[in-house]
Structure 1
Amino acid sequence: MPYDVENAENAEDVENVGDTKKKTNSNSPSSLVSPITAVGLTAALSACGGGGASDSGGTVPSGPQPDPDKQKITDEQAARFLLQASMGVTRTQIQRVQSLGYSAWIDEQFSTQGNGSRWDWLVGKGLDVATYKNSQAGFDPCAWRKLISSPDTLRQRMTLALSEILVVAIQGLVNGGGWKGFAAANYLDLLEDNCFGNYRDILQKISTSTTMSLYLTYRGNTRFNPQTGAMPDENYAREIMQLFTIGLLQLNQDGTPVLVNGNNIETYTLDDITGLARVFTGWDFDLTLSNTSTPDYHRRPLKQVPLKHETGSASFLGFTIPAGVSGENALTMALDFLFAHQNVAPFISKQLIQRLITSNPTPAYVARVAAVFNNNGKGIKGDMKAVIKAILLDDEARSAVAPSDTTRGKIREPMLRFLAWARSFNANSASDTWLIGDTSDAGSKLGQSPLRSPTVFNFFRPGYVPPNTAIANAGLVAPEMQLVSESSVVGYVNFMQTVVSGGRGFGDLKADYSGLLPLADNANSLVAEINLLLAANQISASNLAVISNAVASLHTGTDVQRLQRIYAAITLILACPEFIVLK
Structure 2
Amino acid sequence: QLMTIGLVQLNADGSVKTDGAGKPLDSYTQDDVTNLARVFTGYDLDIRTAERNTVTPPGASYTIESNAWTQRPMALTASRHSTLAATFLGTTVPAGTPGDQALKIALDALVAHPNTAPFISRQLIQRLVTSNPSPAYVKRVADVFANNGAGVRGDMKSVIAAILLDNEARSPAGLDSPDFGHVREPMVRFVQWARTCGLASAAGTWRIGNLSSTSNGLGQSPLRSPSVFNFYRPGYVPPSTAIAAKGMVAPEFQIVTETSVGGYINFLGGVLQNGFNSKDVVAAYANEKALVLNPAALVDRLALLFTANQLSAATRALIVDALSDPAVTASSTDAVKLNRITAAVLLVMACPEYLVQK
Is the TM-score greater than 0.5? yes
What SS does the corresponding residue of 1:428 show, helix, strand or coil? strand
Distance 1:479 1:397 in 2: 18
Cα shift at 1:371: 1.2
- Which position in structure 1 is the counterpart of 2:231? 459
Q: How far off its partner does 1:249 sit?
A: 1.0
Shift of 1:387: 1.4
Aligned to 1:196: none
**2:78 alignment counterpart:** 305
**Separation (CA, whole Å) in 1 of partners of 2:141 and 2:333:** 49
Q: Cα gap change, 1:510/1:311 in structure 2, threshold over 3 Å: closer, same or farther?
A: closer
Deviates more, 1:346-355 or 1:400-409: 400-409
1:266 maps to what in 2? 26
Equivalent residue number for residue 566 of structure 1 = 341
Once the two structures are TM-superposed, the CA of residue 524 in structure 1 deviates from its matched residue by: 2.5
Q: 2:279 maps to which residue? A: 507
Amino acid at match of 2:324: A
Shift of the 282–519 alpha-carbon distance from structure 1 to 2, 3 Å rule, reads closer
The separation in 1 between residues aligned to 2:51 and 2:328, in whole angstroms, is: 62
Map Cα deviations across residues 153-194 of structure 1 (whole Å, 9 max, x no partner): xxxxxxxxxxxxxxxxxxxxxxxxxxxxxxxxxxxxxxxxxx
Corresponding residue for residue 320 of structure 2: 548
Is 1:254 the equivalent of 2:13? Answer: yes
State whether residues 287 and 297 of structure 1, in contact with CA within 8 Å, keep that contact through their aligned partners in structure 2.
yes
Which residue of structure 2 lines up, in the alignment, with residue 333 of structure 1?
105
Q: Which secondary structure state, in structure 2, belongs to the residue aligned with residue 264 of structure 1?
A: coil
Q: Is 1:412 the equivalent of 2:184?
A: yes
- Cα contact 2:36–2:88 (8 A) shared by 1: yes
User: What letter corresponds to residue 282 of structure 1 in structure 2?
Assistant: G
Give the stretch that moved more between structures: 275-284 or 455-464. 275-284
Partners of 2:172 and 2:208 in 1: CA distance: 35
TM-superposed deviation, 1:380: 0.8
**Are 1:575 and 2:350 counterparts?**
yes
Give the whole-Å Cα distance in 2 for the aligned partners of 1:436 and 1:281. Answer: 35
Q: Which residue of 1 aligns with 2:57?
A: none
What is the 5 A alignment of 1:491-502? Answer: 491-502=263-274
Q: Distance in 1 between matches of 2:314 and 2:116?
A: 44
What is the rounded CA distance, in whole Å, between the counterparts of 1:303 and 1:504 in structure 2? 39
**Aligned residue for 1:516?**
288
AA in 2 matched with 1:536:
A
Spell out the pairing of 1:49-448 with structure 2 (5 A cutoff). Answer: 241-243=1-3, 245-261=4-20, 262-284=22-44, 292=52, 299=72, 301-306=74-79, 308-401=80-173, 403-448=175-220
Deviation at residue 579 of structure 1 after TM alignment:
0.7
SS of the equivalent of 1:515 reads helix
Q: Given the alignment of the two structures, is residue 479 of structure 1 paired with residue 238 of structure 2, yes or no?
A: no
Decide whether the 8 Å contact of 2:76 with 2:99 is kept in 1.
Answer: no
Q: Secondary structure at the match of 2:287?
A: coil
1:228-272 CA distances to partner (integer Å, 9 max, x unpaired)?
Answer: xxxxxxxxxxxxx011x1111111111111233322111012122
Pairwise CA distance, 1:518: 4.2
TM-score, normalising length: structure 2:
0.87
Q: Distance in 2 between matches of 1:392 and 1:478?
A: 20
Instruction: Report the Cα offset of residue 286 of structure 1.
Output: 6.3
Contact 1:284 / 1:302 at 8 angstroms: preserved in 2? yes
* Cα distance between partner residues in 2 of 1:504 and 1:436: 6
Give the TM-score, by structure 1 length. Answer: 0.55
- CA shift, 1:297, in A, is 6.2
Task: Choose 519-528 or 255-264, whichever is displaced more.
Answer: 519-528
SS in 1 for 2:87: strand
Query: By how many angstroms is 1:466 displaced?
Result: 0.9
Tell me the residue number matched to 1:155: none
Give the AA of the match of 2:19: V
The amino acid that maps onto 2:179 is T
Q: Taking structure 1 as reference, are residues 418 and 285 closer, same or farther at Cα in structure 2, changes over 3 Å only?
A: closer
Q: State the partner residue of 2:60.
A: none
Instruction: Give the drift of 1:277.
Output: 1.8
Which runs of at least 4 in structure 1 moved beyond 4 Å after TM superposition? 284-298, 503-506
Q: 1:501 to 1:342 in 2, by over 3 A?
A: same
What do residues 417-450 of structure 1 show as CA deviations (whole Å, max 9, x unaligned)?
1122221111212221222211111111101111
* Cα pair distance change 1:448/1:285, threshold 3 Å: closer
CA distance in 1, matches of 2:45, 2:199: 38
C-alpha contact 2:275 2:283 (8 A) present in aligned 1? no
Q: CA deviation at 1:559?
A: 4.8
- After TM superposition, give the deviation of residue 318 of structure 1 in Å: 3.2
Give how far 1:492 is off.
0.6
Q: What whole-Å deviation, never above 9, does each CA across 1:399-434 have from its counterpart, x for those lacking one? A: 224554111111000011112222111121222122
Alpha carbons 1:433, 1:507 under 8 Å: kept: no
1:275 partner amino acid: N
Unaligned runs of 5+ in 2: 54-64
1:329: how far off?
A: 2.9
Code of the aligned partner of 1:257: V
Checking the alignment, whether the CA contact within 8 Å between 1:373 and 1:384 is kept in structure 2 is yes
Question: CA shift at 1:547, angstroms?
Answer: 1.5
What RMSD over aligned residues (CA atoms) do the two structures have, in Å? Answer: 2.3
- 2:261 alignment partner, one of 472, 489, 503: 489
The whole-number CA distance in structure 2 between the counterparts of 1:359 and 1:388 is 16
Aligned to 2:61: none
- Secondary structure (helix, strand or coil) at the match of 2:274 reads coil
C-alpha deviation, 1:506, in angstroms = 5.4
What is the rounded CA distance, in whole Å, between the counterparts of 2:233 and 2:96 in structure 1?
A: 39
Segments of 5+ residues of structure 1 without an aligned counterpart are 1-240
Letter in structure 2 aligned against 1:392: L
Question: Partner amino acid for 2:357?
Answer: L
Ranked by relative contact order (alpha carbons within 8 Å, sequence separation 6 or more), the top structure is 1
How far did residue 379 of structure 1 move? 0.7
8 Å CA contact 2:199–2:284 kept in 1: the answer is yes
Q: Alpha carbons of 1:503 and 1:277: their partners in 2 closer, same or farther (altered >3 Å)?
A: closer
Query: Are the structure 2 counterparts of residues 491 and 254 from structure 1 closer, same or farther at C-alpha, using a change threshold of 3 Å?
Result: same
